[in-house]
Structure 1
Amino acid sequence: MTNEHPSGVRPGQHPFRAVLWDIDGTLLLSESMHFRALRHALATEGVEVPDEFHHEIVGRAAKVVYKKCRQTFGLSMSFDQWRRLKYSYYTAHAAEIAVRPGALEAWRMFEQSGLRQALVSNSDRIVVNANIRVLGLEEPGFISVSINDVVRGKPDPEPYKRAATLLGLKTQQCIAIEDSPTGAQAALAAGTHIIAWPEDRTLEFPPGIRPITDLEPAVKELLRHVA
């Protein structure tokens, strides 16, 4: 499946029933906070993390990032120590994170159209819950998938398949909104349709996925295909 159309939608495709949102970098401008938290954790071992390292880890799950830190910087602390330092910093500063402009407006458009919505993140549950509070989306029965809810995180398709299952839908009935190639690869492998909306315009996405710069027109076009 390709997504050569900017909205990832072509006439005649199955009507959509749900939207599966990535969080970090998509709904929230939180990638910089993740990087700040990473730098905080590594600074305890005297490691200075260069700016360009961010490109190597964006969208990746915690264990993958930790392994990369060990390989690149010779990190000696355990994964649990690293995670505790990083997440304590992140949750303490989560209130500083801004909502991405246009994201909640699109959320409300989908909500008004009757489409169901869920969150699919590569972050741990403690981070996902902090992000949900920032977004103001806490409500009974709200569906979110964290890295702790699956065996394999993105770029594996399992998180998106899990979200679709929790919604009682097929992945083909869902559309994913992602900001990273890692997340887009996961959604593509799961069989969902994709809107690629990167904050970082230099990221390279899988073949056939054409990133957009403005979410609202893509959302309006997508809603024309909803039964």
Structure 2
Amino acid sequence: MTPPIAAVAFDKDGVTFDSERIYAESLLQTLVALPHPPADAQALVDACSGLSSAATAALLQQTLGVDVDMDAFFRRWFAQRDAIIATRGVPFMPGADTLIEALYAAGYPLALVTADDLDNLLADFQRCPQPELLQRFSVVITADDVARTKPDPEPYQRAAAYLGVAPEAMLVLEDSDVGAQAALAAGCPVFLLAADRQPAPQIAQAVRRIIHHHDAVREVLL
């Protein structure tokens, strides 16, 4: 028998914030500006989706070659990212802010689980329209809190343990295959937000539901 949902865990980039698009756009701009850009820069950007900073750096170094100074590359990438954020801010995904408030008001314990580090998470909330929403999450798990980040199950296992619920009772909202893989390996039910992409077939079959808007979560839980 499937246990009822007792808690909800949100991914950060692409689920809570519409920041995945900003990271991808700025990464693509940085890649194509290289003296010798990769043949398929967009495919490389897509492959980085959902990875931790360390895993992203490793993949970029492997693809671009040892002659590319990754420290300098990341500085250019983040300068490009910050220029976009300075113009647009860090917006919430459509419906994410109201869903967080509604779930909190309904008594669901909430976790925020990201492969990003704590400094970046705090910076995103400082630059978003409602920084106080961070207080709605009773548990925050970042790359700084785990030995192995997504796609390893450890982040979601820790989140469930800190919330005091079984993984099977913690609904995870993810947007990347890497994040969904982590949640599934932890034993959590997953709603995969796939507004503008097609998940891998094995992920699509394993998640509980593929959704295209946060309202789908409301329809199930509220």
Short-chain TM bin? 0.7 to 0.9
Task: Verify: 1:109 aligned to 2:105, yes or no.
Answer: no
Task: Verify: 1:208 aligned to 2:197, yes or no.
Answer: no
- Cα RMSD after superposing both structures: 2.6
C-alpha displacement of 1:87: 4.4
- Give the Cα separation in 2 of the matches to 1:196 and 1:181: 8
Q: Deviations over 1:80-115 (max 9, x none)?
A: 555555445545654523211121222122112110
Deviates more, 1:42-51 or 1:195-204: 42-51
**Counterpart residue identity of residue 60, structure 1:** L
Matched with 2:166 is 170
**Counterpart residue identity of residue 211, structure 2:** I
Deviates more, 1:41-50 or 1:30-39: 41-50
Retained in 2: the 8 A contact 1:164–1:170?
Answer: yes
C-alpha displacement of 1:212: 1.6
Question: What secondary structure does 1:118 align onto?
Answer: strand
Which structure carries more relative contact order (alpha carbon 8 Å, separation 6+)?
Answer: 1
Retained in 2: the 8 A contact 1:26–1:103?
Answer: yes
Q: Which of 199, 203, 206 is residue 195 of structure 2 equivalent to? A: 199
C-alpha displacement of 1:21: 0.1
Matched with 1:5 is none
Task: Verify: 1:73 aligned to 2:68, yes or no.
Answer: no
**Counterpart residue identity of residue 31, structure 1:** E
Task: Verify: 1:143 aligned to 2:143, yes or no.
Answer: no
**Counterpart residue identity of residue 152, structure 1:** R
Matched with 1:99 is 92
- Give the Cα separation in 1 of the matches to 2:145 and 2:71: 18
Give the alignment's TM-score, normalised by structure 2. Answer: 0.81
- Give the Cα separation in 2 of the matches to 1:55 and 1:23: 17
- Give the Cα separation in 1 of the matches to 2:4 and 2:12: 24
C-alpha displacement of 1:176: 0.4
- Give the Cα separation in 2 of the matches to 1:125 and 1:82: 21
Retained in 2: the 8 A contact 1:195–1:212?
Answer: yes
Give the alignment's TM-score, normalised by structure 1. Answer: 0.80
Retained in 2: the 8 A contact 1:23–1:119?
Answer: yes
Q: Deviations over 1:146-173 (max 9, x none)?
A: 1121111111100111112222332222
- Give the Cα separation in 2 of the matches to 1:143 and 1:89: 31
- Give the Cα separation in 2 of the matches to 1:57 and 1:150: 20
Question: What secondary structure does 1:51 align onto?
Answer: helix
Return closer, same or farther for 1:88/1:161 CA change in 2, 3 Å cut-off: farther
C-alpha displacement of 1:61: 1.2
Task: Verify: 1:34 aligned to 2:23, yes or no.
Answer: yes
Structure 1: 5+ residue runs without aligned partners? 1-11
C-alpha displacement of 1:72: 1.4
Retained in 1: the 8 A contact 2:15–2:175?
Answer: yes
Matched with 1:218 is 217
Matched with 1:154 is 150
**Counterpart residue identity of residue 177, structure 1:** L
C-alpha displacement of 1:77: 5.1
Retained in 2: the 8 A contact 1:26–1:198?
Answer: no
Deviates more, 1:79-88 or 1:162-171: 79-88
